[in-house]
Amino acid sequence: MPEQADVVIAGARCAGSAVATALARAGRRVIVVDPVRFPATTVSTHLLFAGGVAELARIGALERVEKIGAPRLSRAFIGGPGHAADGCYTPIDGIDYGLCVRRAPLDTALAETAREAGAEIRHGHRVTGIIWRDGRAVGVRVRDQTGRGSHRSARGSDRGARGSDQDGREYEIRADLVVGADGRRSTVARLVGAEGPRIAHANGRACYYAYYEDPHPDWRSTAAMWLTGRELGNAFPCDGGLSLVLLMPPVERVADFRGDLEAEFDRTVGLIPGLAARLAGCRRSTRIVSSAEHPSYFRRSAGPGWVLAGDAGHFKDPVTAQGIRDAVRFGRLLGEGVAPVLDDPAALDRATRAWERTRDAQCVDTYHWTNLLGRGDGLAHVQFELLRALTDRPDGVRRVLDVYSRIRDPRETLALPGLLKATTRALRSGAGARPAIVRAVGDTLLELAGHRAEVRRLLTGGAAAVQP
């Protein structure tokens, strides 16, 4: 006989745990399955600005996350050739700091928060199929990959998964709602026919990162970014006494990293003098993690009996480090929105469509702003001049952080007069790059012109967005 739950969730990381926490606190029976056994890492910038830390607090996970030991990043530094500025956050719900937490302990803390709320989480169990009835998702087929005939339930007792055994045979979970929170390569998105994006943009920068032993206590409270020419480098102090060093070179330089990865990583650090000076006396202590291709997108994320949360439904370029914040926030809002209507299929579908519209409305401008910041072409020279102009103001860094924390409209930083002034300064200072700057600015103006049409296309149809 199949098991029965109110909601079954594929994926136990940020989005899945947030959905599960909200539903379990509302008294709903929730089963979460994930093929990975925690603690386990995943590719991620794993930086949270103050707005993201506030989202951890809203789901009741912040105290547990802070026990991991990552330092509070109360200041931000933005640097480049002949320019440096730092500043602090506008408090959000009393939180005036960011955090950079490695994903293995972070995701474990979020899953434990969901367990404590009453959700059941099964690691080593993978969704293999959707169960349909009259065109509606009514459950999932799951394969137990643990190699054992038991798993640990939310309340700490071991019991056999019905229909599973040591050979990994499949079993079924019937539910009123199937949630895909299983990442960019979402199995649920594929199975419901929503894998193709509604809108998508290729990434302009690649990602390479590693952890460094960091003996500099004066930097432990500062998240730092340097933009030098077309090269972008970051250093974020994190847990374990380490700092995450993240390089984001233009995507056409991926070929340079395919040979001697470590040598090219070190050479690229040297191309960013401010970052190289920051890392003096530091030692790389882990392997280098890479992501060369990570296009941004919005997928259709709600249908009869199913919904896609986190990266399964929407993904932004990691250059602005918004993924964890959005996964937790919109996971929580999804759980809170559907909990009262799970017993009414029509009302449930209205709620998931409204949630999708809310997510899209709150994310689409940040999505386009992120895509422009993620450009690794000649626009990088203009971006630096924009940052210089913004951060030369007494409250400039705070205003920039407000955008990253999602309490200021990102379109303010891309206003046409400021963009034109920054372009003029970039053309004056970047003589050798002038043709690339002109081409990139032309492409940017065309992209900005098409932004409104793309927003209309994304938000057309379905229920009106609900209040956050």
What is the pLDDT, as a whole number, of residue 367?
A: 94
Fold held by 207-291: D-Amino Acid Oxidase; Chain A, domain 2 (3.30.9)
pLDDT tens digit sequence for 103-135: 999 999 999 999 999 999 999 999 999 999 999
409 — pLDDT class (breaks 50, 70, 90): very high
What is the pLDDT, as a whole number, of residue 220?
A: 97
| DSSP count for the chain of H helices, then E strands | 14, 23
> In the structure encoding, which two tokens stand for residue 205, read together?
């920068």
> What's the rounded mean pLDDT across residues 204-220?
97
Domain residue ranges of the chain, discontinuous segments joined by +? 3-46+102-201+296-367, 207-291, 378-459
Which of 186-199 are b and which e, b meaning 16 or more Cβ less than 10 Å from the residue's Cβ?
A: bbbbebbebbebbb
157 — pLDDT class (breaks 50, 70, 90): very low
Q: What is the C-alpha separation between 44 and 319, in angstroms, rounded? A: 11
The pair phi, psi for residue 27, each rounded to 5°, is 90, 15
What is the pLDDT, as a whole number, of residue 154?
A: 35
In sequence order, the β-bridge partners of residue 121 are 32
What is the pLDDT, as a whole number, of residue 153?
A: 36
45 — pLDDT class (breaks 50, 70, 90): confident
431 — pLDDT class (breaks 50, 70, 90): low
> What's the rounded mean pLDDT across residues 14-38?
97
468 — pLDDT class (breaks 50, 70, 90): very low
Q: DSSP secondary-structure letter at 420? A: H
Q: What is the C-alpha separation between 323 and 329, in angstroms, rounded? A: 10
Q: What is the mean pLDDT of the chain?
A: 91
What is the pLDDT, as a whole number, of residue 295?
A: 96
> What's the rounded mean pLDDT across residues 412-427?
82
* CB-based contacts of 98, cutoff 8 Å, min separation 6: 47, 48, 49, 50, 52, 53, 72, 73, 74, 76, 89, 223
* Of residues 366, 228, 218, the one with CA closest to residue 298: 366
Q: What is the C-alpha separation between 245 and 438, in angstroms, rounded? A: 31
**162: pLDDT strictly greater than 80:** no
- Using CA atoms, how far residue 325 sits from 104, 320, 328, 459, in Å, is 16, 11, 5, 21
For the domain bounded by 3-46+102-201+296-367, which CATH number is listed? 3.50.50.60
What is the pLDDT, as a whole number, of residue 316?
A: 96
> What's the rounded mean pLDDT across residues 77-84?
93
